[in-house]
Amino acid sequence: MRIAIVGGTGDFGQGIAVRLGAHTDHELTIGSRTAEKAVDAAAAYCEIIDYRSTESISGASNDRAVSTAEIAILAVPPFHIRDTVRGLSEQLKETTLVTPAVGLAKDETGFHYRPPDEGSVTELVADVAPDETPVVGAFHNLPAGKLADLETDLDVDTLVVGNDPDARGRVASLAEEIEGITAYEAGPITNASEIEGITPLLINLARYNEQLQDVGARFC
């Protein structure tokens, strides 16, 4: 399967790219606003994974990366999501669009969940994406540092929401291909808000508990 990681040169982009590259055999395209930056990142990720499972990791502009992908993961900061999705509307078509982003604010007491007016980032993406593009929320609560460090075994859950059950199942299956990630479906995108809200909580837990640095959540 061809997977695009839109804005895949940042921390989360690197984490998800190296895990998918090391644990699955899908063809990955790292996307960036400038193709050159994406090509450099792709080369760096290939070195990190030392040519394990993946067929290939290449780099391209975001629109080119998305145009041939079956699944596109939006690894862009929440405040760029709206414009990024709008800018890709020609290329997206029936590509399953996956959003892991979360709206956060920080004050002296900690991080707080600040969803957009649409109710959640997932719902915002669904609002902006073309009608024929299935939107799925997933990968929200993964520990970014551990994700990027292939020496660390993961043992975390990811919750998957989407209004199209097939697309939701496709993304859940992809997530489960990464060793140490268990995916659970959590229904339509109206259920995204409570999932996105866990991310600031995980950051707060790291602040108040030495033993909870860069943790994820498990449900059991």
What distance in Å separates the CA atoms of residue 181 and residue 48, rounded to the nearest whole number?
20
What distance in Å separates the CA atoms of residue 132 and residue 139, rounded to the nearest whole number?
22
Please report how close the Cβ of residue 49 comes to its own copies at its closest, in angstroms: 25
Please report how close the Cβ of residue 114 comes to its own copies at its closest, in angstroms: 11
Which residues sit at the interface with its own copies, rule CB under 8 A?
Answer: 107, 109-110, 112-113, 155-156, 159, 184-188, 190-191, 193-195, 197-198, 200-202, 204-205, 207-209, 212, 215-220
Element (H, E) at 4: strand 2-6
Q: CB-wise, 132 or 220, nearer to its own copies?
A: 220
CA atoms within 13 A on the CB side of 58: 14
Please report how close the Cβ of residue 16 comes to its own copies at its closest, in angstroms: 20
Q: CB-wise, 70 or 127, nearer to its own copies?
A: 127
Q: CB-wise, 49 or 202, nearer to its own copies?
A: 202
SS3 72: strand
Please report how close the Cβ of residue 166 comes to its own copies at its closest, in angstroms: 15
Residue pair 128/82 in contact by the 8 Å Cβ criterion: yes
Element (H, E) at 126: helix 121-128
Q: CB-wise, 1 or 104, nearer to its own copies?
A: 104
